[in-house]
Homo-oligomer: A and B are copies of this chain.
Amino acid sequence: MSFDTHGSLNGLVKMTTQTEFRFSIGGTDGKARTGEVVTRHGAIRTPAFMPVGTAATVKAMLPEHVRETGADVLLGNTYHLMLRPGAERVAALGGLHEFMRWPHVILTDSGGFQVMSLAKLRKLTDNGVTFQSHIDGSRHELTPERSMEIQGLLGSDIHMVLDECTPYPCTEEEAAQSMRLSLKWAERSKQAFSGAPGQAVFGIVQGSVFPDLRHESAKELIGIDFPGYAVGGLAVGEGQAAMLKVLEETVPALPGDKPRYLMGVGTPHDLVESVKRGIDMFDCVMPTRSGRHGQAFSRFGKVNLKNARHVEDPRPLDEESTSATASTYSRAYLHHLIRSNEILGMMLITRINLDYYQELMGGMRAAIAAAEFDSFVARTIAGWEQGDLPER
């Protein structure tokens, strides 16, 4: 294996130029697996949680602190980045890794989801989607080819195929039509993808809550042949039980030797239940967005630090936490900062949450390797159900 330097700033971003993209499973426990996805910017230990770095920043976090939480990979949003600063501009500045000073793995979404949720005056055709920027009203087009081009300019290690985001709820007919359009786009995405060694593009299984459609989608995508498969169109309002049912029906239709990524999920409880059903990768804004609003995740479950019960509480959130932030700053101080709309409050609670999410993923990886996953999950859920410390 030889190393080469990519980019110019202090040799920050190093790539293993001879690395082929690969996935290896190190251990299983039931359907849960632990392993490693290897890319040109390093390895992702799975099961993995990817913090969301929407606009080339994980909000309120220094990049070196994101790394310190234990994150191996973060997600960049193609929609936001194509609008500002623009994909060609990021490429001219050395690519997204260099731009945001994150020398580790980056996965980018296709942009399709945010076009449907954020952009204005959308027009969808078989060819792709045209829309107006929510920032400045400028007109843009996103096709499978352009999405691949943008993700290539950003230089992400894992690209996602452009898909149509099926609304929820919808009829089986609508879901079928949407899923089949996504299949065509998946094929075009794969053809347009010109990855370097250690880069990959993942397919996305659609089909809403309809098992036959999910199976059809999985089968056709496997025919196209991707190095990884995502499950999309979930966590859009169907509820946890419906989501887990879709996973139970869909995951067995996916190849066992390829990574499986559940998009946009979720709560800590969603994560353990999904790992149990064979998922390897996740992304979600929950730990960062909740953190900015004073919601902290911990082994006691979700704790609302804005609540008046914390106003005079000198105890840290969790004195036994491995997170230095969670185990040192007092609840009273975090409460004060959030009530005062202080940026430091958002910074500290975001850090606490990303620390907790990564601690949870590390705990799951170790438990799977030790074939103790079920008892780990039972113990973890019992802690959440017991809830927060009693008031002092």
Contacts and interface: CB of A to CB of B under 8 A. Distances in A.
Interface of A: 8-10, 12, 55-57, 59-62, 84-85, 89, 92-94, 99-101, 311-312, 314, 316, 328-330, 332-333, 336-337, 339-340, 342-348
B332 A343 contact: no
The copy count of this chain in the complex is 2
A84 B10 contact: no
Residue from A84, A94, A312 having most chain B Cβ neighbours under 10 A: A312
Nearest to A83: B340
B85 A347 contact: no
Given A57-B337, A57-B345, A89-B311, 7 more contacts: A8-B314, A10-B328, A55-B336, A84-B339, A85-B332, A93-B332, A343-B346
B62 A101 contact: no
Given A311-B85, A312-B92, A343 B336 contact: no
A9 B62 CA distance: 25
Residue from A61, A336, A342, A346 having most chain B Cβ neighbours under 10 A: A336
Contacts of A57: 337, 342-345
Contacts of A61: 344
Contacts of A328: 9-10, 12, 101
B59 A344 contact: yes
Residue from A57, A61, A346 having most chain B Cβ neighbours under 10 A: A57
B99 A62 contact: no
B347 A101 contact: no
B329 A94 contact: no
Contact of A56 (B100, B333, B343): B333
Nearest to A135: B340
A342 B336 CA distance: 22
B343 A93 contact: no
Contacts of A336: 55-56, 84-85, 99
10 contacts: A9-B330, A55-B337, A56-B333, A57-B342, A84-B340, A93-B314, A99-B330, A99-B333, A101-B333, A343-B343
B339 A343 contact: no
Residue from A62, A101, A348 having most chain B Cβ neighbours under 10 A: A62
B332 A99 contact: yes
Contacts of A55: 336-337, 340, 342
Contacts of A89: 311-312, 332
Contacts of A333: 56, 93, 99-101
Contact of A330 (B93, B312, B346, B348): B93
A333 B100 CA distance: 7
Contacts of A100: 333
B312 A93 contact: yes
A314 B8 CA distance: 10
Contacts of A339: 84
A58 to B, nearest CB: 8
